[in-house]
Amino acid sequence: MAADAVERKVPEQALRESESKYRFLFENMPDGFAYHKVVFGEQGKPVDYIYLEVNDAFEKMTGLKKENVVGRKVTQVIPGIEHDKAGWIEIYGRVTLTGEPVRFENYSETLKRWFAVTAYSPGSPYFATVFEDVTERKQTEESLQQVRVDLERAQEVGRIGWWRLDTQRNVLTWSDENHRIFGIPKGSPLNYETFLQTVHPDDRQDVDSKWNAAQRGEPYDIEHRIMVGAQVRWVREKAYLEFDATGNLRGGFGITQDISDRKHAEAALARAVTQLETLLVTAPVGFCHLDRDLRFLMINDRLAEINGLPVAAHLGKTVGEVLPSLLPAVQEVTARILATGEAVVGQEFSGETPLQPGVTRHWSESWYPVREGGHVTGFGVVVEEITDRKRAEEALRNAHAELEERVQERTSELSEVIRRLRAENVLRERLEKTLRESETQVRFFASQCLTAQETERKRVAGELHDSIAASIAAVRLRIERMAQANQRDLGSTDSLQEIASTVAEINVEVRRIMTDLRPSVLDDLGILPALNWFCREYQKTYSHISVEKQVGIEERDVPDSIKTPIFRISQEAMNNVAKHSRASLVHLSLQ
């Protein structure tokens, strides 16, 4: 029995020692530990879990006291955990149901901490978790990520990329900005040869030579061109190379800066400087730069020529030393600029120069303040020689005065001429008035004559019609009767018939004369029928001439006083055409 007791005592002692070691490890392990039991819902879905055991590290990492945790549900210990986006209950339930351990990192919104968790299940419905607080590491990673983002943004803003070269593996690593600068997509294979192919053909040999020199320990800080498609870019590259103990190149780190804008600005500045220098040399005006003590810092050839001294004789000397006669006026202008800070434009100066001592010359000058750091440090001066212009102006004034005198003399002469012309004009107006009155009288007389003529024609035509034509008709009638009475006497009959024929012709001629003197149709029907009748008779008489009429008025539109003149004018004109021209067409228009 004693032996059995001893045998039982040895395992119990070993068990107590093992439990003591486990407890010591459990309480002193650096990671948090918790043992749980899953609570399932009606459909077997995990809805909660109960804390069965936790260690001291659990309390330290979660801030939850052991006595407030053990034996309680997690939803009681950490209210709202069932709504946490991390899905703690769901993850642990899946581990318990599947028996598969998991390792993950999650952020607890309720505890405001990051945890790296390992969960496993010894058998449903139990599971255990071992975890560590990685909040500080996560914050460091986030800070590092933010630094990386800021660095990438800074590289993008500054157009500075970086690269690293591993010569052992011949691998070239580029930053995103470096890819953008060289126009090579990310993921493209990179090595030194890839880089060299992007270098401008005219710069490639020099870049390769500088790189080879850098591998021998010389500095590598160069500027060169690269080709991005058809576009040329300028870059600055600086490298820090790493060598092993034997002096062999292990690798290197460097930066690439896109300096295209700077190069373009430098080129534009160089062009501007060249243009300015050309302008200063070729400009027809003088230019100089003075400091506040009026000392010549720069002067162009034209102003030196105006002053009559070489450029070198001006530099370092003051205005008072070179042009003493101009100093008071210059001091007045510069004092005004220093007081107001504004330019003085178009100021005229007069004085002598070494070029022509004793001769007063004139200049138009514009003075501008030259500023550095907001302060006036000197003056820029533009000078134009106006001596010839001044002399020309003086000559012009003299000529103007002489012209004024001559103009006054001429004005007096013109005044006399004007007076005479006015007198002559009055006389001319009187004569014109008399002439107009005479013309009116002549027109009236002509009208009266025409009226009298037409009246007389009408009277003569009437007498021819009433007397002579009637008498001739009576004679013709008697002769015809006599011819009938003497039919037996053939000789007498023939004579009478001849006489009758002659009388008939005389009668026709009389009627023609009557018509020419005054056509009865004009008095009986009016001007339009009279013209129509005349045109018909005209074509009978002159069959080789065609007549076209164009009448655009009515009979009532023609005053009686001008009907006869219209008819006579038309009659005379058409008769003249027949007598004096070879026309085959007459166009008569009455509008």
Torsion of CA 299, 302, 303, 309, to 10 degrees: 90
What is the overall mean pLDDT for the chain?
A: 83
Query: Which of residues 470 and 360 earns the better pLDDT score?
Result: 360
499-511 pLDDT, tens digit per residue, is 777 777 776 666 6
**pTM listed for this prediction:** 0.40
**Spatial CA neighbour of 328 closest among 351, 359, 354:** 351
Number of helices (H), then strands (E), belonging to the chain: the values are: 18, 17
Give me the pLDDT at residue 486, please.
Answer: 67
89-136 pLDDT, tens digit per residue, is 999 999 999 999 999 998 888 888 899 999 999 998 999 999 998 888
Give me the pLDDT at residue 307, please.
Answer: 86
Give me the pLDDT at residue 462, please.
Answer: 63
The answer to whether residues 249 and 242 touch, using CB atoms and an 8 Å cutoff, is yes
Of 271-280, 296-305, 323-332, 582-591, give the lowest mean pLDDT range: 271-280
Give me the pLDDT at residue 379, please.
Answer: 94
Q: How far apart are CA 501 and CA 493, in angstroms?
A: 12
Give me the pLDDT at residue 24, please.
Answer: 62
Using pLDDT thresholds of 50, 70 and 90, give the confidence band for residue 453: low
State which fold the 284-385 domain adopts. Beta-Lactamase (3.30.450)
State which fold the 522-591 domain adopts. Heat Shock Protein 90 (3.30.565)
Peptide bond before 201: cis, by omega within 30 degrees of 0? no
State which fold the 140-265 domain adopts. Beta-Lactamase (3.30.450)
Give me the pLDDT at residue 108, please.
Answer: 87
Task: Compute the average pLDDT of residues 476-488.
Answer: 70
31-62 pLDDT, tens digit per residue, is 899 999 999 988 889 999 999 999 988 988 88
Beta 296-299 vs 286-291: how paired, if at all?
A: antiparallel
Give me the pLDDT at residue 447, please.
Answer: 63
Of 67-71, 146-150, 299-303, 431-435, give the lowest mean pLDDT range: 146-150
Rounded to the nearest 10 degrees, what angle do helices 490-517 and 469-485 cross at?
160
358-394 pLDDT, tens digit per residue, is 888 888 889 999 998 888 999 999 998 888 888 888 8
Q: How far is CA 389 from CA 51, 91, 325, 394, in A?
A: 109, 100, 21, 9
Q: How far is CA 561 from CA 180, 448, 527, 566, 567, in A?
A: 105, 11, 11, 10, 11
The answer to whether residues 386 and 348 touch, using CB atoms and an 8 Å cutoff, is yes
Q: How far apart are CA 173 and CA 177, in angstroms?
A: 12
Task: Compute the average pLDDT of residues 208-219.
Answer: 91
Per-residue exposure over 311-349, b if at least 16 CB sit within 10 Å of its own CB, e if not: bebbeeebbbebbeebbebbeebbeebeeeeeebeebeb
> What residues does 586 pair with on adjacent strands?
547
Q: Which range scores top for mean pLDDT: 198-207, 250-259, 430-439, 530-539? A: 198-207
161-202 pLDDT, tens digit per residue, is 988 888 888 888 888 888 999 999 988 888 888 889 999 999
Give me the pLDDT at residue 173, please.
Answer: 87
Q: Which CATH class is domain 22-133?
A: alpha beta
The answer to whether residues 75 and 81 touch, using CB atoms and an 8 Å cutoff, is yes
As given in the structure block, the two tokens for residue 447 are: 């009208």
Plot region of 489 (φ>0 → left; ψ -120 to 50 → alpha; else → beta): beta
| Long-range own/partner contacts, residues 553-562 (CB < 8 A, 24 or more apart) | 553/590, 553/591, 555/526, 555/527, 555/528, 558/526, 558/527, 558/528
Give me the pLDDT at residue 580, please.
Answer: 86
Q: What is the DSSP letter of 582?
A: -
Residue 93's SS3 state is helix
